[in-house]
Each structure stands twice: as C-alpha cells, then as structure tokens.
Amino acid sequence: MQATNLETLVTIQYNFDQPTNRAQTRSSKWEKYPPGTIPLWVADMDFEVSPTIRQALADRVAHGIFGYTKPDLEWAKAVTDYYQTTHNWTIKPEWIVWVPGVVTSMNLACRAWSQDHNKVLTPEVIYPHFHSAPTNNNKQCLFMPMTYAQGRLRVDINSLPAKPHQDAKLMLFCNPQNPGGCVYTAEELQAIDAYCQQHELILVSDEIHADLILDADKKHIPYGSISEYALNNSMVLGAASKTYNLAGLACSWAVIANDELRSSFQKAMHGIVPEINPLGYIGTVTALQTERDWQQQLLQYLRGNRDYLAQEFDAIEGMNMLPLEATFLAWIDVSELGLENPPAFFEAAGVGMSPGAGFNDANFMRLNFGCQRAVLQEAIARIKQALANR
Ligand SMILES: Cc1ncc(COP(=O)(O)O)c(C=O)c1O
C-alpha cells in the first residue's frame, strides 16, 4: 500500500490491515465488553509485533529455561543509543534503571521523593494513574490546570499556582500527553523547567508515547535534555511497550542522571518490585535496536487511521475530535450530543471506548485507533446508526 502522506514518503510493506484474532488469549482489551462489542479502549494495539521481534522472542522461548535474568550492560546501551539516534539526547548506561512498568515507576517516585501527606503536582486531565499514584502512597494531588487552547490539551503553564504548597516537592508530567496527544514544544518544556527550578521541584516525565508522534512537523524532546537543572532533578520514563505493542511483557526503563535520586529510587524498589522477565528484555531491546523501519510504517498507518477518524467525526454533528499530534488515542468531545450517559450509549451501540471521566473530563470519550482500518469503519458505522436511531 502506498503512503498517503507525501511528507514522509514511507511505503507500507507490513500489512497492518491484516485481521487479527485475540480471542482465547485473556486479552484485557478484548475481554472487557460482551462478545460482539468492538473494544477501542485500553492502550494496546491489535497488530502483531514485527517479524523480527517475534523471531527474537521465539528464539529465546526455544531455549526453554526462564530463570531470573540479570540485565546486560549492552541492553542499557541499546537505550542510550536509542536516545542518541532517535532523540539526540546523550545519556549514560549507568543512569538506566529497568522497571517492569512506567506506572510502577510513578508510584515509586511518590514513595521515594516525597514525604507522607506532601502534595504532588499532577495534570488535572490525565491518564488515571497520575492521580492514583500520589494517593496510593499517602500523598495528595495538587491539580495543575489544563488548557484546550488551539485544540491542544496541555498543562496551562500560565495558570500554575504562583506558590505551590510548601509541601510540594514533586511534579508528575506526561509528554506526549495522554489523553489529547499534545507534544510539548521546547518553549513549553522550558517554562515548566523554569517553574520547577523556581520551586525546587523534582519532575517525573512519562514519555511512554514518545515514538508515536504523528505530525511530521512535531518533535519529541526528552525532558532531561532541556536544561542542567532538568537533567539533575528529573526522571524520564520510557518503554517500547506502546510503540511496538509489547505491553504484556512488562518492561520499561527510568533514566535518572542524579546519583542520589537514583539510589533512593532503587531503595524504594527493594523487596517490592520484581525483576524484569527475560522476554520483556528481549522484546524491548530488539525493538530499540532494529525496528525503526517497522515503527515508521506503523506511524504511517496510524496517521491514516487518525485522518480517517478526523474526517468522519467532522461530519458527525455533536462529536468533536481534537486534532491529535501523537499517540493512537483520539480524544473526542461528545458533550454537544447531550447524552445522559455517553459510555453506556456507545457501548449499547457496540463500541467500547474509554469514558472521559476516568481521565477527569466527562465531556469526552477516548478512542483507541491502534487497530485495522476496517474495524474503525465498522465502529463509525455503528456510532452513526445509533445516533440516527435515538
Ligand atoms: C501515559 C501512560 N503511562 C503509562 C502507561 C502504562 O505503562 P505501563 O504498562 O508500563 O505501566 C500508559 C498506558 O496506557 C500510558 O498511556
């Protein structure tokens, strides 16, 4: 299939249109709703992993022994090389801490870097774990106001409290932002950094969607590359799980340049956080080392899905999809439909999306378009039919 977006001139060789069947795999995504409902919620994709990742995993499985696994320094180097070549950020292998999940790291940061009952600054409209991580760990959320200006849902830097609470030591931050898919610009990151410097805050930057930038003119900037202060007072969280569809293999990394912060973070892991499983490492490292071409083709396919949805929602009165710079998660304002219970309405129509209330904005629904285009076409047909019938 030929790419439709001439800006990038990528030819799609992998067949992302190929139907896949996740029945009988205990998929969280596919088991949530009754059979027949199209599940477009939790952020994993319905595409098979790249042939090379699949082969690397098969080779490891063929060995037949899956004991505790010690990370190889070469694997940390795969991460540092990835940052260098993909995001032009020079980091050291010893700064990498392997963690089974990004959410785990957020929770650990709340334990390690703030005291009980401290406040944690966190975006007001965000992936739910940004609100549960502080409260899970005996902290209180201090919501950072958001703006939808220019259709980009992001922290409203100009409305941050002039003086955050004296007990606020930590800020949680998401770039690209989920939901909404905003990619923060250098200026926006510098303003956040200036605020953190002024108030001596440590920032946790969840960058799990960094390699899912859809707009050719947008660029992901790792937070730690913004300034010396940012480097020494932050943790950047990354994973191959979203981009390469490996979420079930439970592998991620944290980049912590500051020795003291790294050591207190690792101390908080002791006895609680299990080691990464061998397949998690193999999948992640193979993705980073060899799968750039597959990723570019995936992006091309996802752009097509995003553009298809944008066009369809443009024509559906009362459903307004935000322009999306990154991620495979469309953020759709359904408030003008005047529905009493939007999630129930769409579910009854046979389309299972994530309720916006889970992200703290009940006016919206989040639609995961990491799936075959034909599936989206069926979902759109169902939505149109249900709206016509009401
Ligand atoms: C912004 C963000 N952070 C973290 C996660 C989950 O990461 P993990 O499975 O590594 O805990 C997701 C999954 O959807 C996400 O969207």
What pLDDT, in 10s, does the model give residues 31-49? 999 999 999 999 999 999 9
**Model pLDDT for residues 182-193, shown as the tens digit of each residue:** 999 999 999 999
Which domains, ranges and CATH numbers included, belong to the chain?
28-50+292-389 (3.90.1150.10), 67-290 (3.40.640.10)
**Model pLDDT for residues 148-181, shown as the tens digit of each residue:** 999 999 999 999 989 888 889 999 999 999 999 9
Residue-averaged pLDDT of the chain: 96
Cα 273-278-280 angle, rounded to 5 deg: 75
Q: What are phi and psi of 189, to 5 degrees?
A: -65, -40
Q: Residue 120 has what DSSP assignment?
A: E
- Is the model more confident about 164 or about 328? 328
Would you say the CB of residue 99 lies under 6 angstroms from ligand 1?
no
**Model pLDDT for residues 329-339, shown as the tens digit of each residue:** 999 999 999 99
**Ligand 1 atom with the shortest distance to the CA of 247:** 9
103 C-alpha vs ligand 1 centroid, how far in Å? 6
Please tell me the predicted confidence (pLDDT) of residue 165: 83
Quote the tokens at residue 168: 């606020």
Would you say the CB of residue 174 lies under 6 angstroms from ligand 1?
yes
**Model pLDDT for residues 104-121, shown as the tens digit of each residue:** 999 999 999 998 889 999
122, 127, 174, 244: which to mutate for ligand 1, most atoms within 8 A of CB?
Answer: 127
| Calpha distance 19→373 (Å, rounded) | 10
- Global pTM reads 0.96
List Cα–Cα distances, 171 to 134, 278, 325, in angstroms. 10, 32, 23
387 C-alpha vs ligand 1 centroid, how far in Å? 32
Query: Does the pLDDT value for residue 4 go beyond 50?
Result: no
338 C-alpha vs ligand 1 centroid, how far in Å? 31
Confidence of residue 10 (pLDDT cuts 50, 70, 90): low
Nearest CA, atom 14, ligand 1: 43
Helix, strand, coil share (%) of the chain residues, nearest 5? 40, 15, 40
Nearest-CA neighbor of 133 among 40, 210, 237, 230? Answer: 237
Q: What is the largest CA-CA distance in the chain?
A: 61
